[in-house]
């Protein structure tokens, strides 16, 4: 049995944190051993976080979570004390800060472990100085992964565009490791079984209140007269009310807000359609249209509309008709896509989606790199 540690910067509600916790759930569910190390303070009970929202499952599966606040030096010393008494063989890092700390610790001590690191953001979304730092920090690992084909293409483009960055990042070439979902937390119990509709009845937005996630685009779509009969659900970690200030009252009456909740705390239903209008800017050459929320919805049998050219990482989901690409500037195309989208039948395709997205594929990629 491989002893695994998972490192992340927080357990607030977000995609990276969701993946880290799902990895721990899956490892402990299979009678393995996993501990999550969080490089920060434990959130209080009033803060929206996975540690609060999913406390029962964390306790049920015996997932150990250790918070390590303080400076980098303090965190290095904390890791040194922990590793003296616990021989972790595989460390999965979702934190570049954590990667550098652990690399330095291994140089300064006798601790032996294998370290993998995953990049979770398109380089395009970072400012130039921050992007350069992240690319350099990525070299302090044994195996480097990135979450999508678009992100890898972006990464390779940045390397090829700068002789200096290309030279500094020769040690580790990045490989794609697709995200995944711990299926046991997304069972049919999360769905409203009383809904038997054969058409789309509700539009959903799930994500952080940031510009590139596309909340403004979503609000423009739901205000189109052709979609006035559809209900609306907005799920965000923090309040989106400032975005709704200029929204028409009739539209607001159709909106249900869910703030600070995990997906497992939301009641979804047949007839739901997720809109994920990710916008990386007019000049962006790279588009990743399938977030972990899109994967979660697919596991529940809920389809998604995503940004055009954003499905390269998960072409199977297009084949299964779980996702459809649209041009978010073409309102006519969006309306047609929504009105023609049929709710997915819970049949063989649904089972194929769940098997495809299972978090264990993600974990096996990390384990395989360690074993090799």
Q: Residue 209: give its domain's CATH number.
A: 3.40.50.2000
Residues 251 and 135 in one domain: no
Task: Determine the average pLDDT of the residues in 260-268.
Answer: 91
Give the pLDDT band of residue 280 (cuts 50, 70, 90). confident
Angle between helices 96-108 and 128-137 (to 10 degrees): 40
Structure-block tokens of residue 187: 């069972």
Q: In terms of residue numbers, what domain contains 234?
A: 187-355
Task: Determine the average pLDDT of the residues in 208-236.
Answer: 92
Cα 79 from Cα 38, distance rounded (Å):
11
Please, which residues bridge with residue 325 across strands?
Answer: 306
Residues 220 and 309 in one domain: yes
**Is 180:186 a contact under the CB 8 Å cutoff?**
no
Residues 343 and 326 in one domain: yes
Residues 123 and 268 in one domain: no
Question: Which of 13-22, 202-211, 273-282 has the least mean pLDDT?
Answer: 273-282
Handedness of CA 218, 154, 354, 65 (dihedral sign): negative
Structure-block tokens of residue 133: 């730092």
Domain count for the chain: 2
Residues 101 and 208 in one domain: no
pLDDT value, residue 196: 62
Q: Is residue 317 over pLDDT 90?
A: yes
Cα 277 from Cα 149, distance rounded (Å):
18
pLDDT value, residue 361: 97
Residues 333 and 212 in one domain: yes
Angle between helices 72-85 and 96-108 (to 10 degrees): 60
pLDDT value, residue 188: 58
Give the pLDDT band of residue 245 (cuts 50, 70, 90). confident
Residues 200 and 254 in one domain: yes
pLDDT value, residue 230: 96
Question: Which of 15-24, 173-182, 229-238, 282-291 has the least mean pLDDT?
Answer: 282-291
Instruction: Say which DSSP state 202 is in.
Output: E
Please, which residues bridge with residue 7 across strands?
Answer: 37, 93
**Is 359:26 a contact under the CB 8 Å cutoff?**
yes
**Is 181:295 a contact under the CB 8 Å cutoff?**
yes
Q: Is residue 47 over pLDDT 60?
A: yes
Task: Determine the average pLDDT of the residues in 74-94.
Answer: 94
Beta strands per DSSP E along the chain: 3-8, 33-38, 64-67, 90-93, 114-119, 143-146, 175-176, 191-192, 202-206, 231-236, 255-259, 268-269, 272-276, 304-307, 323-326
pLDDT value, residue 212: 81
Structure-block tokens of residue 231: 């209900």
Residues 275 and 203 in one domain: yes
| pTM of the predicted model as reported, rounded to 2 decimal places | 0.94
Structure-block tokens of residue 300: 């529940």
Q: Is residue 154 over pLDDT 60?
A: yes
Task: Determine the average pLDDT of the residues in 285-313.
Answer: 94
Cα 89 from Cα 61, distance rounded (Å):
21
Cα 123 from Cα 282, distance rounded (Å):
15
Residues 206 and 248 in one domain: yes
Q: Which of 325, 319, 321, 332 is nearest to 288 (CA)?
A: 325
pLDDT value, residue 268: 92
Give the pLDDT band of residue 31 (cuts 50, 70, 90). low
Angle between helices 348-357 and 292-299 (to 10 degrees): 140
pLDDT value, residue 221: 95
Task: Determine the average pLDDT of the residues in 55-66.
Answer: 94
Residues 211 and 67 in one domain: no
Higher pLDDT, 281 or 61: 61
Higher pLDDT, 283 or 209: 209
Question: Which of 172-176, 179-183, 368-372 has the least mean pLDDT?
Answer: 368-372
Residues 112 and 196 in one domain: no
Residues 338 and 365 in one domain: no
């Amino acid at each position: 049995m491989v002893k695994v540690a998972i490192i992340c910067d927080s357990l607030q509600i977000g995609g990276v944190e969701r993946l880290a916790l799902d990895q721990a759930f899956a490892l402990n569910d299979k009678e393995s051993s996993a501990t999550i190390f969080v490089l920060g303070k434990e959130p209080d009970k009033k803060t929206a976080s996975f540690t609060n929202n999913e406390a029962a499952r964390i306790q049920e599966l015996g997932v150990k979570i250790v918070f390590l606040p303080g400076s980098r030096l303090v965190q290095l010393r904390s890791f040194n004390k922990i590793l003296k008494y616990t021989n972790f063989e595989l460390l999965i890092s979702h934190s570049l800060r954590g990667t550098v700390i652990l690399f330095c610790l291994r140089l300064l001590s006798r601790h032996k472990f294998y370290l993998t690191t995953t990049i979770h953001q398109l380089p395009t979304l970072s400012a130039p100085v921050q992007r350069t730092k992240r690319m350099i920090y990525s070299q302090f690992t044994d195996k480097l992964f990135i979450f999508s084909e678009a992100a890898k293409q972006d990464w390779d483009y940045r390397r090829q565009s700068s002789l200096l960055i290309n030279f500094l990042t020769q040690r580790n070439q990045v490989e794609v490791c697709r995200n995944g979902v711990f299926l046991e937390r997304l069972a049919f119990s999360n769905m409203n079984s009383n809904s038997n509709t054969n058409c789309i009845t509700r539009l959903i937005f799930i994500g952080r209140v940031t510009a590139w996630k596309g909340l403004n685009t979503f609000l423009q779509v739901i205000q189109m007269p052709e979609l006035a009969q559809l209900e609306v659900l907005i799920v965000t970690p923090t309040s989106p009310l400032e975005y709704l200030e200029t929204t028409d009252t009739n539209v607001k009456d159709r909106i249900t807000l869910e703030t600070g909740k995990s997906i497992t705390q939301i009641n979804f239903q047949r007839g739901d359609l997720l809109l994920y209008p990710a916008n990386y800017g007019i000049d962006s050459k790279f588009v990743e249209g399938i977030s972990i929320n899109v994967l979660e919805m697919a596991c529940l049998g809920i389809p998604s509309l995503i940004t055009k050219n954003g499905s390269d990482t998960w072409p199977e989901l297009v084949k299964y008709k779980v996702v459809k690409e649209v041009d978010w500037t073409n309102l006519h195309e969006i309306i047609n896509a929504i009105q023609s989208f049929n709710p997915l039948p819970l049949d063989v395709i649904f089972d194929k989606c769940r098997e495809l997205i299972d978090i264990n594929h993600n974990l096996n990629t990390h384990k395989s790199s360690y074993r090799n």
